[in-house]
């Protein structure tokens, strides 16, 4: 067999190298005198009974036959090559610290301390955490807001252009695509604009794994020539929670990116997570078009049913305006609830507590039900029936509900400066005018209401209290009850 043919066979998308290596390891009946200490589950029967012996047999340590995540040279490297081919990237990195680590690696690869990065303010907290770690300075492009729905939109091309003109020394631009709600920016135009000014394009594609595997969905980051993308494979890709990919393209250095990843990623990579990435990549590469055709069809069916109930609005491509909503992810089932007089988080709680239905999240005006190939029509009908009954039982006057979701921040210090500054704790109710040194956010989706370095205003305090009153799960503060907040200590 010629070398090129051997290479082609080795890189077949029908293969899952990590899974295959684990199977060979088990067949060899190796006696383990290494970690983990449960020794294939024999040392922790309760854990083995709970998770299953097969699971614990595959929870193993890095070793020569199984490669090493920090410096892959064999089966993990092959899995990365296969992932890169499947996603159309120059290289793909397997990550076991979640997409948070992918976002942080992107920012830290592109920017050093003091260098500027353009990004929307409605980023996930992981992006701002990356600024705290790296010392990079954010230049925020405030997203448009769909006031009727209470959701932030994508990045307007003119706003991006203005930020680039005002900050030509910025090293990169970070784009959320899609947002949690399914909103897509004009990825192609923003990428071309940034590249024309010598800036790297980083895409937080946590909710866009499926874009790579179905031609009915919006453009993916790699397809438009972006330089880096973070992929939450565990969301729509089918892998285990906390497993993700980082994709690089163009002239981004594989070696340097690996070094950046290894600053924060564990040296004890989970083979459960890595094999789940490997197997899920294989599944999507072979059957992705069919899988997401089904998901899109299920989402549209449910959207149509919900919109017949009254009081709800399950939105889709009709929001497209050619700019801040350049495209929409039709696999998303985002539903506006405010017209029936209930906040999204209230509908979320009722669904869970009274109907045993767990959806992805609820905010002050919307809910998101995450639909995947694992759903059944019967489950979708149960969701629709529950929503119809909630509308009948709980509908009320919506006039008292908060009318928007996004507050433009006033940036006083960089996130890193404020996070590490001398600080003091004050009552949230008395914090107006002070500079926050910690986050306050609803989780999910994890978009900060206020972030380190931003001035706290009465509007922000009012919004936080409203979220608390509606039952949102607030995180980010040292005070678990979010009655107090850390602020930058003022000079006296």
Tell me, letter by letter, the H, E, C secondary structure of the chain. Answer: CCHHHHHHHHCCCCCCHHHHHHHHHHHCCCCCCCCCCCCCCCCCHHHHHHHCHHHHHCCCCCEHHHECCCCCCCHHHHHHHHHHHHHCCCEEEEECCHHHHHHHHHHHHHCCCCCEEEEECCCCHHHHHHHHHHCCEEEEECCCEECCCCEECCCCHHHHHHHHHHCCCCCEEEEECCCCCCEECCHHHHHHHHHHCCCEEEEEECCCHHHHHCCCCCCCCHHHCCCEEEECHHHHCCCCCCCEEEEECCCCCHHHHHHHHHHHCCCCCCHHHHHHHHHHHHHHHHHHHHHHHHHHHHHHHHHHHHHCCCCCEECCHHHCCCCCCCEECCCCEEEECHHHCCCHHHHHHHHHHHHCCCCCEECCCEEEECCCCCCCHHHHHHHHHHHHHHHHHHCCCHHHCCCCCCCCCCECCCHHHHHHCCEEEEEHHHCCCCEECCCEEECCCCCEEECCCEECCHHHHHHHHHHHHHCCCEECCCCCCCCEEEEECCCC
Report whether the peptide linkage leading into residue 163 is cis, meaning its omega lies within 30 degrees of zero. Answer: no
At 434-464, the pLDDT tens digits run 999 999 988 777 788 999 999 999 999 998 9
Q: Return the pLDDT at 399.
A: 75
Report whether the peptide linkage leading into residue 178 is cis, meaning its omega lies within 30 degrees of zero. Answer: yes
At 375-386, the pLDDT tens digits run 999 999 999 999
d(CA 36, CA 38): 6
- Domain at 289-400: CATH code: 3.90.1150.10
Whether the pLDDT of residue 24 is over 70: the answer is yes
Whether the pLDDT of residue 268 is over 80: the answer is yes
Whether the pLDDT of residue 144 is over 90: the answer is no
Quick one: which of 250, 253, 197, 229 has its CA closest to 107? 229
For the chain, domain boundaries: 12-57, 64-284, 289-400, 415-488
d(CA 164, CA 156): 13
Q: For 394, how many CA atoms within 13 A lie in the half-sphere containing its CB?
A: 22
At 321-332, the pLDDT tens digits run 999 999 999 999
CA 268 centroid distance within chain: 23
Whether the pLDDT of residue 45 is over 80: the answer is yes
Q: Return the pLDDT at 403.
A: 63
At 114-138, the pLDDT tens digits run 999 999 988 888 999 999 999 999 9
Q: Return the pLDDT at 444.
A: 72
At 88-106, the pLDDT tens digits run 999 999 999 999 999 999 9
At 369-416, the pLDDT tens digits run 999 988 999 999 999 999 999 999 999 988 777 665 567 788 899 999
d(CA 160, CA 147): 21
Angle in degrees, CA 114, 103, 182, rounded to 5: 125
CATH assignment of 415-488, among 3.40.50.300, 3.40.630.40, 3.40.50.2020, 3.90.105.10:
3.90.105.10
% of the chain at pLDDT higher than 70: 96
At 188-204, the pLDDT tens digits run 999 999 999 999 999 99
At 205-219, the pLDDT tens digits run 999 999 999 999 999
Q: Return the pLDDT at 472.
A: 85
Whether the pLDDT of residue 1 is over 60: the answer is no
Report whether the peptide linkage leading into residue 75 is cis, meaning its omega lies within 30 degrees of zero. Answer: no
* Cβ pair 435, 456 in contact under 8 A: yes
Whether the pLDDT of residue 6 is over 60: the answer is no
d(CA 180, CA 368): 8
Q: Return the pLDDT at 166.
A: 97
d(CA 474, CA 467): 8
Q: What does residue 146 show for φ and ψ, rounded to 5 degrees?
A: -90, 95
Q: How confident is the model at residue 3 (pLDDT cuts 50, 70, 90)?
A: very low
| Mean pLDDT (the chain, rounded) | 93
% of the chain at pLDDT higher than 90: 81
d(CA 124, CA 131): 12
The mean per-residue pLDDT over the stretch 341-366 comes to 94
Q: Which residues of 319-336 are buried (b: 16+ CB within 10 A; e: fewer)?
A: beeebbbbbbbbbbbbbb
- Domain at 64-284: CATH code: 3.40.640.10
């Amino acid at each position: 067999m010629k070398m090129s043919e051997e290479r082609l066979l080795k890189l077949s998308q029908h293969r899952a190298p990590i899974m295959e290596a684990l199977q060979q390891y088990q067949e060899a009946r190796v006696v383990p005198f290494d970690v983990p200490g449960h020794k294939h589950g024999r040392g922790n029967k309760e854990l083995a009974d709970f998770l299953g012996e097969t699971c614990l047999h595959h929870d193993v340590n890095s070793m020569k036959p199984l490669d090493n995540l920090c410096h892959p040279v064999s089966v993990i490297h092959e899995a990365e090559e296969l992932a890169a081919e499947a996603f159309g990237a120059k290289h793909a990195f397997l990550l076991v610290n979640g997409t948070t680590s992918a976002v942080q690696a992107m920012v830290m690869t592109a920017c050093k301390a003091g260098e500027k990065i353009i990004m929307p303010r409605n980023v996930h907290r992981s992006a701002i955490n990356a600024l705290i770690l790296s010392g990079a300075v954010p230049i925020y492009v405030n997203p448009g807001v769909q006031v009727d729905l209470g959701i932030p939109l994508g990045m307007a091309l003119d706003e991006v252009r203005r930020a680039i003109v005002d900050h030509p020394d910025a090293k990169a631009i970070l784009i959320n695509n899609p947002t949690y709600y399914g909103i897509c920016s004009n990825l192609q135009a923003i990428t071309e604009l940034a590249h024309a000014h010598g800036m790297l394009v980083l895409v937080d594609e946590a909710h866009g794994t499926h874009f790579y595997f179905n031609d009915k969905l919006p453009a993916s980051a790699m397809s438009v020539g972006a330089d880096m993308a973070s992929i939450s494979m565990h969301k729509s890709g089918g892998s285990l929670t906390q497993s993700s990919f980082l994709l690089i393209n163009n002239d981004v250095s594989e070696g340097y990116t690996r070094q950046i990843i290894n600053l924060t990623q564990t040296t004890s990579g989970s083979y459960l997570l890595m094999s789940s990435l490997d197997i899920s990549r294989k599944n999507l590469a072979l059957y992705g078009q069919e899988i997401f055709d089904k998901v899109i069809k299920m989402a549209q069916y449910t959207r149509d049913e919900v919109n017949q109930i009254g009081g709800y609005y399950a939105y889709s491509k009709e929001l497209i305006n050619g700019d801040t909503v350049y495209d929409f992810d039709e696999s998303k089932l985002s539903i506006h609830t405010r017209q029936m007089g209930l906040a999204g988080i209230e509908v979320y709680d009722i669904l869970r507590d009274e109907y045993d239905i767990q959806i992805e999240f609820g905010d002050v005006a919307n809910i998101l039900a995450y639909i995947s190939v694992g759903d059944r029509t019967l489950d979708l009908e149960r969701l629709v029936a529950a929503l119809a009954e909630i509308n009948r039982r709980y509908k009320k006057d919506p006039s008292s509900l908060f009318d928007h979701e996004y507050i433009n921040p006033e940036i006083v210090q960089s996130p890193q400066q404020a996070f590490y500054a001398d600080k003091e704790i004050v009552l949230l109710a008395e914090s107006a005018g002070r500079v926050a040194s910690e986050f306050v956010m609803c989780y999910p989706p994890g978009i900060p209401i206020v972030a380190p370095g931003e001035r706290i205003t009465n509007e922000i305090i009012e919004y936080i209290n409203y979220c608390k009153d509606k039952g949102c799960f607030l995180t980010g503060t040292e005070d678990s009850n979010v009655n107090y907040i850390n602020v930058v200590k003022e000079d006296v």
